[in-house]
């Protein structure tokens, strides 16, 4: 449910499919404009807003003059309430050491975020990335970000936040840095789940009402498996504002017979290590296989991180197939009315790259209290 809009204005850089924006919109912010350079992600962002935001700028961020962009929207430097940004993070991630180098061009996109802060000069900033950014180059990147923001007058705090602690059915640890030039130090909202609080939201809570699918299912629209009293509170929340007896984005990658034969051998909670060596001959260097490869989810636990669930071969808890786009979107806390556009591979990547909106709503509400 959306909070009342108090004319709080946001800008979202590296917007992707819109997870960060959606969380802030649900908290009552208006996203004045968003920037995204992937055409399918930008289409997903635009199509899910029906004109609620003024524009999605499809562009390489380095080509944007934010001073001119503010003028276009009749805004001045310093009038935006919060600037959001989650630059592409593959170069900081510890899950792929081949790309985790200072030479990765994506590792310099945080500098574009800092440039935008200087030109837009928002009251607050939110910077999101993989947890590995905190240790990258022995913390040098975070030192640079903190130093430059401090020079601009921002008081910053950061933490590694686990989405599961805030009701998202997924263990997803991410770096969040929040800064304010209002001489207010931000405090992250306290976790609502685990350690004597509410139970964690499980995979079963999240997706058990969705229809059973086959390997390679390409029927986008399918009826729900369960309705009414059988729904969990989380499922009811995901179906809000979607008054239909079906859902969309049910497509699943078509895997080969070899891959399906591997799936069949993996128990709930298991992974590639449960597959006999005779079926893994094409994996020459198994030292590169982390615990999320060929991971079969367990009904009674939150999911592991939804990164690229097609490449990692995340497996449904009881069916021998990968996850559908809608299942992954549920595990990311996207409501069912939120539709993903583009080809299947693009949709999968959009969901994987997103920031869970349920988490960002809670952060946004905490920031809103300071702005009100």
Residues catalogued as catalytic: 89
CA distance 249 to 86: 24
Question: Running DSSP on this structure, what letter comes out for residue 163?
Answer: G
Residues 6+ apart with CB under 8 A from 205: 169, 232, 233, 234, 235
- CA–CA separation, 146 and 30 (whole Å): 27
CA dihedral 217, 222, 228, 233 (to 10 degrees): 60
Dist. CA 192–CA 237, nearest whole Å: 16
Q: Are 364 and 27 in contact (CB under 8 A)?
A: yes
CA distance 358 to 330: 11
Task: Show the tokens assigned to 223.
Answer: 């009826």
- Please classify residue 319 by burial: count the beta carbons closer than 10 Å to its beta carbon, then call 0-12 exposed, 13-18 middle and 19+ buried: middle
């Amino acid at each position: 449910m959306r909070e009342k809009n108090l004319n709080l204005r946001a800008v979202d850089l590296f917007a992707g499919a819109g997870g960060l924006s959606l969380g802030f919109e649900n908290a009552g912010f208006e996203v004045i404009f968003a920037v995204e350079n992937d055409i399918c992600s930008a289409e997903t962002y635009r199509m899910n807003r029906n004109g609620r935001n003024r524009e999605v700028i499809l562009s390489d961020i380095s080509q944007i003059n934010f001073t001119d962009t503010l003028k276009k929207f009749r805004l001045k430097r310093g009038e935006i309430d919060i600037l959001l940004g989650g630059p592409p993070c593959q170069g900081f991630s510890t899950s792929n050491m081949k790309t985790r180098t200072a030479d990765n061009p994506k590792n310099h996109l945080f500098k574009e975020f800092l440039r935008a802060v200087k030109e837009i000069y928002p009251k607050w900033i939110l910077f999101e990335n993989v947890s590995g950014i905190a240790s990258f180059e022995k913390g040098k990147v975070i030192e640079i970000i903190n130093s430059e923001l401090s020079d601009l007058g921002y008081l910053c705090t950061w933490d590694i936040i686990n989405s599961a602690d805030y009701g998202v059915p997924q263990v997803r640890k991410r770096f969040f840095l929040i800064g304010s030039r209002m001489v207010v130090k931000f405090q992250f909202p306290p976790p609502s789940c685990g350690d004597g609080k509410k139970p964690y939201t499980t995979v079963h809570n999240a997706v058990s009402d969705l229809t059973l699918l086959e390997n390679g299912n390409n029927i986008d629209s399918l009826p729900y498996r369960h309705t009414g009293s059988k729904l969990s509170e989380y499922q009811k929340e995901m179906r809000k504002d979607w008054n239909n007896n079906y859902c969309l984005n049910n497509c699943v990658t078509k895997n080969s017979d070899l891959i399906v034969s591997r799936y069949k051998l993996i128990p709930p909670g298991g992974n590639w290590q449960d597959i006999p060596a005779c079926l893994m001959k094409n994996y020459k260097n198994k030292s590169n296989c982390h615990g999320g490869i060929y991971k079969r989810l367990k009904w009674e636990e939150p999911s592991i991180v939804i990164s690229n669930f097609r490449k990692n071969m995340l497996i449904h808890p009881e069916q021998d197939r990968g996850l559908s786009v809608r299942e992954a979107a549920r595990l990311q806390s996207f409501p069912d009315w939120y539709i993903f556009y583009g080809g299947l591979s693009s949709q999968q990547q959009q969901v994987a790259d997103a920031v869970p909106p349920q988490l960002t709503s809670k952060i946004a509400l905490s920031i809103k209290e300071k702005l009100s």
